Amino acid sequence: MSLRGLSANSVSHWLREPYILSGYRRIGLSPVSCVKTMFRSDNNEVVNFWTHFVPFMVWAYWLWDSYRDITDTRYLPLVCYWVGSLLYTFLSSFAHLFNAISYKFRHFCFFMDYSGIALYEMGGIIASFYYYRPLNRPTFQFEYTYLGLGALLTMSVVPITCLSRFYWRRYRFIIRSLAYMQPFLWSNTLIYVLYLFPDGSETFIYKQLYSHFAIVVFSILLVFVFASKLPERLSPGSFDIIGGSHQWAHVFSTAVTTLHLRLMKTDIDNRWPELMIQSVKPTFLTTAWLLGFCTFWMVGISSCIFVYVYKGILVEEDNNNKEE
């Protein structure tokens, strides 16, 4: 089967992305052929794959190298964030690599991709509570409420994003952006409170102020390109292989995560004397077990949705085969 990238007119309307006119892989490739396409320059998944697979490899090595012997529970939330980062980049690379196997598998791949992003956000919520909450305000020591609401928000992301592949398709990018934005804002609320309403416990931020500021800028850019479909909206067909909004979203998400991973350990160490005197401390139950429970839920709910829409996917696959 040819591995050459196809024009938008030659593939089913289900595969077409807005303003991307060429570089589509045909559906029905074997796993080996999918891997081979990642070493060609005529399809629009190559950059998507490498922009998340390379960070996954680097961060996995980095985690192994720096934290494999850690016994100190102070780093548990950081490791949760790290595991979330590995999950979202791995599942994203997997989805972009193998989504050309079949229409059914394509949906499955992206269900896993959405679950990975939600788990990353859950890791961020856990880390943000234990490391970045204002310490001198009693109202912000609400451990179970904050983590519980965060878990509910991230667990709601998966059904919304998965179903947006089948329903309300016209608004799918806006729906997904809004769904991801809720846990994202929740995980950043505490540090924004520290920025805007200093309570004396925020001085650690100033030691790495530029990195914190860069994270805010890259986060805004990430949401902006994802929702606006810029730059391809301005010049359809010019960013089919490289430079499209999805690829920029990968680059900005990698930048945000790398900056977080780099500065979080220093922030923890700078702030640890203050965190030590607090009664609320990370435990296995509120970090690793909570992330494990969310993983269980997300895999479960995305599998249930897959079974629920399976009949519809078969009809869709039939129509697509006729269309091609």
What are the binding residues for Zn(2+)?
96, 246, 250
Question: Cα torsion for 5, 11, 14, 18, to the nearest 10°?
Answer: 60
Of the pair 179, 275, the CB lying nearest Zn ion is at: 179
In the complex, least distance from residue 224 CB atom to Zn ion, rounded to whole angstroms:
16
Q: How many CB atoms lie within 10 A of CB 145?
A: 9
Which residues share a beta bridge with 24? 6
Contacts of 294 (CB under 8 A, 6+ apart): 118, 119, 122, 151, 154, 155
Of the pair 53, 75, the CB lying nearest Zn ion is at: 53
Residue nearest to Zn ion (CB): 92
Compute the C-alpha angle 287/295/165, nearest 5°: 135
Of the pair 92, 287, the CB lying nearest Zn ion is at: 92
* 179's tokens: 């769904």
- Tell me which H or E stretch contains 58: helix 46-67
Of the pair 92, 208, the CB lying nearest Zn ion is at: 92
Compose the 87-116 pattern: x for residues touching Zn ion by CB under 5 A, - for all others: -----x------------------------
Of the pair 193, 249, the CB lying nearest Zn ion is at: 249
Compose the 38-77 pattern: x for residues touching Zn ion by CB under 5 A, - for all others: ----------------------------------------
Q: Are 111 and 305 in contact (CB under 8 A)?
A: yes
* 191's tokens: 């540090």
In the complex, least distance from residue 92 CB atom to Zn ion, rounded to whole angstroms:
5
Q: Are 242 and 5 in contact (CB under 8 A)?
A: no
- From the list 73, 5, 139, 142, the residue with the least C-alpha distance to 288 is 73
With CB under 5 A as the rule, give the number of residues binding Zn ion.
1
In the complex, least distance from residue 133 CB atom to Zn ion, rounded to whole angstroms:
31
Of the pair 46, 193, the CB lying nearest Zn ion is at: 46
The annotated binding site is made up of: 96, 246, 250
Question: Cα torsion for 265, 266, 269, 275, to the nearest 10°?
Answer: -80
In the complex, least distance from residue 96 CB atom to Zn ion, rounded to whole angstroms:
6
Contacts of 15 (CB under 8 A, 6+ apart): 24, 27
Compose the 159-198 pattern: x for residues touching Zn ion by CB under 5 A, - for all others: ----------------------------------------
Q: Which stretch binds Zn ion (CB under 5 A): 85-93, 128-136, 173-181, 266-274?
A: 85-93
Q: Which residues bind Zn ion (CB under 5 A)?
A: 92
